[in-house]
Structure 1
Amino acid sequence: MKLTAYQYYLPFKKNLNTSNKSFKHRTGILLEYPCDDGRTVFGEAAPLPGFSKKSLDKIVGELKINVADISEALNSTEPVTSLQKVYETTSLANELAFGLDTLAYQITAQNKGTTMSQILFSQLQTSIKINALGDLLSDNIFAEVKQFVNKGFKTIKFKVGRNVKIEYQQLREIRSIYPDLTVRLDANQAWPLKEAITNCNRFSSLGIEYLEEPIAQPSPQNYEDLTQNIELPIGIDESIIHTDWWPNILPFTSYVILKPMLLGNFKKIFATNRLANTHDNKTVLTTSLESGIGRIMTAIFSSGFGNRQTAHGLMTGTLLARDLIDDSNCILNGEYQIPLSEIPFTIDPNILNQLSPIRLQK
């Protein structure tokens, strides 16, 4: 059987702005593999600029170099186990390993006459709470929040760090209108330690669920100093990807945000989740702004081991002008309905024809 790959380009409806980056589009790799029964399975590898350790071009190069071993593993009687051996002898990018395991678990499920979710988890929630995404610097922020609330969302996440004065004023007004709304913030490592302390204490008065990654130079000592001077619950996200010592921060955090696409193969995702749940941290799973394939996989992990009392980040598909898979019908009343019937994934042939093939073999 022959592994096929395509490069995709998915523009956002409008720029997605963080404290230190602006996203206009997403690029990634769509993986396609034909099974013995005639069906085809799809996976996705999508490095996130500013988060991922390796670029898209680097990952394409790794795929080309290792395509023979990867294809042999996928064609074996135990593709999941065989791929683990490939991971042990190579240094494949986390995103590529995630995409390959997405293929391998679908193949295994078909071979065993079961579903991928049943292989991964003994119990699975059929729906999970999710957060909406708001822009505090938008001219229409109050209308947007009202629309989210009317659609049943109980939690909204906002990026902060671009203009704290305005962001605080907008949040104070939102809180006065919606006192029961759960609000979470993400600073994307915007501030030096002293400024982080000041801003966390400023936002603390607004009843914030948690604030992600406030510190520009994260370290266990900086997080200890931060939490000794604030009461606001803190979450970590990109520190997990960028550092090896992130577990040393866990005594000082309340939430750990996991992006499965960026963590690697599924075995590594489970191991990271077990570690993240120490020190009474709550695990929140979010997408990496990838296509519908990665979002649905993130939803499955969220429903399998994500914290059940808090919302997860699965609404990013609404930000894209076009997509490989449309999962908008999965979102209802502020919850994501797990589309188990959509797996194995199927891609519209018209969408495939618009993608750029990647030449893997000579």
Structure 2
Amino acid sequence: MSPVAAVAVLPYALPLARPWRSAAGGATRRRGWLVRVEDAAGRVGWGDSPAPLPDPGDEDPAGILAALTAPLPGRTPQQALAGLAPSPAAIGLEGALLDLLARQRGLPLARLLAPDAADRVAVNAVVPFDGVAAAVAEGFSVIKLKLGLAPWREEVAALRGLALPDGVRLRLDANQAWSRDEAVAVIAALAGLPIDSLEEPLRDPDPAALAALQAAAPFALALDESLEPGRLPDPLPVRRLVLKPARLGGLRATLALGNAARRAGGEVVVTSLVESAVGLAATAALAAALGPLAHGLATSSWLAEDVATPLPIRGGFIDVMAGEGHGVTPRL
């Protein structure tokens, strides 16, 4: 394979379509760094290292990337990847090298990650309660709603008031809002509703308490922010894991964790952390390698501007086999 000839790290600050707010703070721009890797034949791979949300804090991803990319020229993508340890800051370099390697082999990135990867990925919509009807009209069959923002009885009443056509399911995310007693009551109150899953129901995500809740729930419970990078809970206390490559150390580390979860009998959903179109395309390729559930990749609408045109969503699906690599080239 042709060796790397040139590397560049390019910062971006993309305005958000609406402010990002969470318990940790807020943001009005999505910041990060694109990584461009070119081989001696002129082929180019692109990756994205998004900054932590809502604030990069004291981390220095730019410095880490500069140190990692300096020795790359002269190495093949495989050699560079072999020496690259999992790291949230290094995900852009890893993505660029994988994109370049897939292009060198004439493959979509999804097929490089898994030969049996799906041609397209189902995605869920993430909307407020008053956006459900519009999401259904756009063809989404899985709708994600945030809970824990009001008293749980009010939120359950609002869920019961939704007019959902047959086949549409609700993916709920409590963001660790409830005590164990509250979670038990919510799960009972959701009986009869088309629930796909409930993420992070417990304020204190004790494995034994989660396992007891899962045993009582007729739908999947899921872990997200309580997951530790590189560590699969043993045994799995819930049926589903929500994996964010930008938090778990990169595409390969997330693929390994997801495959381990599936071998242990768990379900896997891959979710974006509002990456740029470059990062989102790589995450979609990973999702295609990890299974048929709807994944959390409909996040481009958060960005008022982007570095490239994102992969389109049609009828609730993203096509990940449109070309070589991850299929997105920045407008730079």
Range of TM-score over shorter length:
0.7 to 0.9
* Aligned-pair CA distance for 1:158: 0.5
State the Cα deviation string for residues 31-76 of structure 1 (Å, max 9, x = none): 12222122432111114337x9x8574322322344433x24xx31
Letter in 1 for 2:319: Q
TM-score normalised according to structure 2 size:
0.86
2:234 to 232, 235, 248: 248
- Asked if 2 retains the 8 angstrom alpha-carbon contact of 1:49 and 1:55, the reply is no
State the Cα deviation string for residues 52-110 of structure 1 (Å, max 9, x = none): 9x8574322322344433x24xx313x233332242xxxx6x22332222121233234
**For residues 82 and 320 of structure 1, do their structure 2 counterparts lie closer, same or farther at Cα, with a shift above 3 Å needed?**
closer
**Secondary structure, in 3 states, of the residue corresponding to 1:95?**
coil
- Asked if 2 retains the 8 angstrom alpha-carbon contact of 1:131 and 1:313, the reply is yes
**Secondary structure, in 3 states, of the residue corresponding to 1:341?**
coil
CA RMSD across the alignment: 2.8
- Asked if 1 retains the 8 angstrom alpha-carbon contact of 2:14 and 2:306, the reply is yes
- Asked if 1 retains the 8 angstrom alpha-carbon contact of 2:197 and 2:222, the reply is yes
Letter in 1 for 2:88: E
Residue equivalent to 1:122: 115
* Aligned-pair CA distance for 1:326: 1.9
**Secondary structure, in 3 states, of the residue corresponding to 1:185?**
strand
- Asked if 2 retains the 8 angstrom alpha-carbon contact of 1:200 and 1:232, the reply is no
* Aligned-pair CA distance for 1:194: 2.6
User: For structure 1, which runs of at least 5 residues remain unmatched after alignment?
Assistant: 350-362
**Secondary structure, in 3 states, of the residue corresponding to 1:277?**
helix
* Aligned-pair CA distance for 1:323: 1.0
Letter in 1 for 2:14: L
Letter in 2 for 1:336: I
What does 1:257-296 align with in structure 2 at a 5 Å threshold? 257-296=242-281
Letter in 1 for 2:147: V
* Aligned-pair CA distance for 1:16: 4.4
**For residues 24 and 215 of structure 1, do their structure 2 counterparts lie closer, same or farther at Cα, with a shift above 3 Å needed?**
farther
Distance 2:22 2:84 in 1: 36
**For residues 169 and 261 of structure 1, do their structure 2 counterparts lie closer, same or farther at Cα, with a shift above 3 Å needed?**
same
**Secondary structure, in 3 states, of the residue corresponding to 1:38?**
coil
TM-score normalised according to structure 1 size:
0.80
* Aligned-pair CA distance for 1:126: 1.9
Distance 2:181 2:274 in 1: 31
- Asked if 1 retains the 8 angstrom alpha-carbon contact of 2:38 and 2:100, the reply is no
Residue equivalent to 2:62: 60
Do structure 1's residue 297 and structure 2's residue 279 form an aligned pair?
no
- Asked if 2 retains the 8 angstrom alpha-carbon contact of 1:47 and 1:55, the reply is no
Distance 1:159 1:280 in 2: 26
Residue equivalent to 1:193: 180
**For residues 55 and 121 of structure 1, do their structure 2 counterparts lie closer, same or farther at Cα, with a shift above 3 Å needed?**
farther
* Aligned-pair CA distance for 1:232: 4.4
- Asked if 1 retains the 8 angstrom alpha-carbon contact of 2:168 and 2:194, the reply is no
Distance 2:28 2:229 in 1: 23
Residue equivalent to 1:355: none
Structure with the higher fraction of residues in helix conformation: 1
2:322 to 302, 319, 340: 340
State the Cα deviation string for residues 166-216 of structure 1 (Å, max 9, x = none): 322221111x44354211101112223333323333334423111001112
Identity %: 26
- Asked if 2 retains the 8 angstrom alpha-carbon contact of 1:41 and 1:345, the reply is no
Residue equivalent to 2:310: 327
State the Cα deviation string for residues 290-317 of structure 1 (Å, max 9, x = none): 11111111111111222x2x31111100
**For residues 111 and 337 of structure 1, do their structure 2 counterparts lie closer, same or farther at Cα, with a shift above 3 Å needed?**
closer
- Asked if 1 retains the 8 angstrom alpha-carbon contact of 2:49 and 2:88, the reply is yes
Do structure 1's residue 30 and structure 2's residue 40 form an aligned pair?
no
Residue equivalent to 1:203: 190
